[in-house]
Amino acid sequence: MKRITMISLSACALLAAAAQAYSQTVTVDPGTMTLGYMNWSPIATDAPGYGGSGSSAWGLSDLQASFSGTTLTVSPNINCYNASSSYWVNADGSGANTMDANVYNETTGTYVNTTLTFQYDVLADTLVSPYYSVAFIKDFASDYSSFTSVTAPLTTLGEASLSLPTGGAGDHIQYGFETFGPDANPATAAQLGSAEIAAVAVPEPASFALLGMGLLGALIWRRKA
């Protein structure tokens, strides 16, 4: 019986290690979600002289994103609004570009050959149309020439998650949040709302081993019975 128990313990440990290797879970974390990036493109492509397109790394504050503890708040972009510039603002005062603000973490070779799950807790989403925000996971090829992704809107309050099977060792894995909408007038930005997303407790690797031990205990009890 002792030998069987030791074999079973080893099997459970291996199963726990395998489960950890083939799936990993992350959540909202101000210590790792420190990167910001903005993409923009013209809203009215049939109106020459209005809007433009581009992309560059931005700081989180420029994206109108900020952390309070483990809670992230994202709001419509106001950083580019300039009423005297037809590149950023239309003649009627509306934003000339759709802004795509990314707050995220990126790793290379860390969350690969696995199924990555991103957990988060939507505390509030008061963004008004056409503004909206989504959670995402993206898996970029080693040369960034292509990527696969999964997204989910933040319109339902409460805990949520999304998962993506990831590729090989050279892939760049990103997870975080994107906020879309026209560049906004700072004078009216408060009326456009915001989204608040918090962390969710993620089980430590030891939890998988404990789960395996629990299953083993149940099996031994059943065998004795």
| pLDDT per residue as tens digits for the range 185-215 | 999 999 999 999 999 998 765 444 444 444 4
What's the burial of 95, exposed, middle or buried (CB within 10 Å: 0-12/13-18/19+)?
buried
Give residues with Cβ within 8 angstroms of 46, minimum separation 6. Answer: none
Q: What's the one-letter identity of residue 77?
A: N
Three-state secondary-structure class, residue 108: strand
HSE-CB of 158 using CA atoms within 13 angstroms: 1
> What is residue 89's DSSP assignment?
B
| pLDDT per residue as tens digits for the range 124-176 | 999 999 999 999 999 999 999 999 999 999 999 999 999 999 999 999 999 99
| pLDDT per residue as tens digits for the range 74-116 | 999 999 999 999 899 988 899 999 999 999 999 999 999 999 9
Give the torsion sign (CA, 53, 57, 61, 66). positive
Pick the CATH number of 24-201 from 1.10.3470, 2.60.120, 3.30.410, 1.10.10: 2.60.120
| Euclidean distance between CA atoms 110 and 133, whole angstroms | 26
